[in-house]
Structure 1
Amino acid sequence: MLYFDRSTLDDVLSTLKRRYGVEIKVSNPEILKCRIKAEFKDASIETILEVLSFDANFKYEIDDNTIYITGKGCLN
């Protein structure tokens, strides 16, 4: 179970790196300031990224063990 209550995307991505053993590269550091409120139970990393990408206004691409995140970041 993963639970985030207004956590920064930076903290969320750090958790995902540890949990799923992936490398994450972010092109725009502003994205990391976005606040995330979400709960995931037995979710794949793809499912989590889909939700996060909508909430934090970014796009992602998975290439082997690396996730590339691009975009403008939060809408608020």
Structure 2
Amino acid sequence: MEGVKITKESDARGSFCPGPLMEMIRLVRSANVGDVVAVISGDEGSKKDIPAWINKARYELIGMEEAAPGGTRIICRKNH
């Protein structure tokens, strides 16, 4: 994601559901409003579960991108 400055990031590639989701929740809770946080997950379920939580919690999903090797970076902005 060009132009997006990630404030905090957690690599949860060794963790399986619900570990990566819990990492995203922890990061968002510890972030300030306006911060951009990201979790790298190798768990396929995270591609659906984490964006669903971000939407439900009314934060902003910035996007998802490949994070080599074997992971997806899911990026969220804490907007409230």
Structure (1/2) with the larger helix percentage = 1
Where relative contact order (Cα < 8 A, 6+ residues apart) is larger, the structure is: 1
Would you call these one fold, judging by a TM-score over 0.5?
no
Instruction: Report the TM-score, using the length of structure 2 for normalisation.
Output: 0.33
Structure (1/2) with the larger strand percentage = 1
Instruction: Report the TM-score, using the length of structure 1 for normalisation.
Output: 0.34
